[in-house]
Every structure is written in C-alpha cells, then in structure tokens.
Amino acid sequence: MFECDVKLSADNVPFLLHDATLERTTNGHGVAGEHTWEALSRLDAGSWHSPDYAGEALPRLDSIAHYCLEQGYFLNIEIKPTPRLESHTGSVVAHEAARLWSDTTVPPLLTSFEPPSLEAARIAQPRLPRGLLLDHLAEGWLETARQLDCVAIVCNHTLWNANTVSQAKKAGFRLLSYTVNDETSVRRLMALNTDGFITDRIDTFSPRP
C-alpha cells in the first residue's frame, strides 16, 4: 500500500506535495496552493532528488489513482491542506477519491492531522474510511477519532506502548505507525500487536535473496 500527501491548487485540482511551499522540492516559489494547476504542472519536481529525475512534474491525484488501480495497489491518501483551507480540501479530495475509486471494492484510506479535513471528508463521502494522524497524544485523542468515525489511528511510532495500544484496541481502532525505518522499531510494534507501519525505506524490509 502506498501513501501520498494531497493538497489543492488554487483552481481546486488535487495534486501531490508534502510541503506547504514549493522551494524545497521544486524550482517554484511560494505557497503551492496559491498557484493554478497550469503553473504547478510546469515545475521541475525531480531535480532536488537526483539528476535522473530532472524534469519530473508534480503528479495529480488522478494520475496516481490510475496507476495504483491498474497495478492493483492500495493507497493511503493523507489530506494535507494549505492553511485555512482544511475543510474545503477535505471535501474536494474525498469527492475526487470517491469518483476515482467508484468501481473498486477497496477504497483508499483518507488520513489527516487536521480534524476539520477529516470531518469535511466524512460529510462529503461517509463511506470512505478515515484515519486520524497524531504526532502527540493530547487529551481526548480517542474521543476525537470516535467523533470523526475513523477506522484507524496513525501515530508517530514512539507513541505506541502497552497502555496506548490497549486503549485504542478496546475502542475498536486499527493501529498504524509512521515513519518506521529500522528493524528494531518494527519488532517492537509487532510485539505490541499494532496493525501496520509506514516506511520510506521499503528496501530495508524487502525479502533478501
């Protein structure tokens, strides 16, 4: 299952980008969500990675969806809104996800650190599963996940321990973790009986010949 971050262009096109701004991973400047898709589509989003990827464009959500559906891959879509557009982004991304996966039996999982985005997604497309992302456990974290009718809680992996796992399991949630790039952490999470983890070092966990 792949994971990606999705936000909106100024003209409401869902596209993939982690940062709020363009400078780190493209040759563009400024807040990404303040640019039209026509302008964003002309940027070089590959050279920051390596020369082999020079000229690679920012991908649209529909392009990634078509690839995943054709290859039989599942997708976790993190809704990552431009500040002050949390609800609007959640609604638009949910509608687009529902449209793109309308003929499938396994829909994408919509996740976000922003409860307003998840609430808007719930209202827009209640049948799409949702997961609450957490980088710390503030008071009421379980109740927030319940109110958003989430199926999963996705935590910074260091937050899971015997107590937090027990609370979340008793509440009926699936437990996921980010970002897990070493075997020791994987073994700890497996021993705690969590359900899965997110990694950006898939080569570390690929079967060895």
For residue 88 the two structure tokens come to 């609007």
**191 within 8 A of 160, measured Cβ to Cβ:** no
The pLDDT of residue 180 is 97
**CB neighbour class for 202 (10 Å; exposed up to 12, middle 13-18, buried from 19):** exposed
Of 119, 129, 31, nearest to 82 by C-alpha is 31
Identify whether the C-beta of residue 125 lies closer than 8 Å to the C-beta of residue 94.
Answer: yes
pLDDT value of position 28: 98
* Residues in contact with 187: Cβ distance below 8 Å, sequence separation at least 6, in sequence order: none
CA-CA-CA-CA dihedral for 23, 15, 198, 157, to nearest 10: 60
Q: Which residue from 93, 104, 95 is spatially nearest to 70, judged by alpha carbons?
A: 104
**pLDDT value for 208:** 61
Length of the chain, please?
Answer: 209
The full DSSP string for 172-205 is T-EEEEE---SHHHHHHHHHTT--EE--S-GGGG
- Amino acid 205: pLDDT: 79
Q: Which residues of the chain carry a pLDDT beneath 70?
A: 207-209
Phi, psi of 76 (to 5 degrees): -110, 115
Whole-angstrom Cα distance, residue 16 to residue 9? 10
Contact 61, 16 (CB under 8 A): yes
Q: What is the pLDDT of residues 10-55, one digit of tens each?
A: 999 999 999 999 999 999 999 999 999 999 999 999 999 999 999 9
Region of 12 on the Ramachandran plot (φ > 0 left; ψ -120 to 50 alpha; else beta): left
Q: Mind listing the domains of the chain with CATH numbers?
A: 1-111 (3.20.20.190), 129-209 (3.20.20.190)
Give the pair of three-digit tokens for residue 83: 């500040």
Q: Where are the beta strands (DSSP E) in the chain?
A: 2-8, 14-16, 75-79, 109-112, 130-134, 152-156, 174-178, 196-197
Go through 125-137 and write b for each residue having 16 or more CB atoms within 10 A of its CB, e for each that does not: beebbbbbbbeee
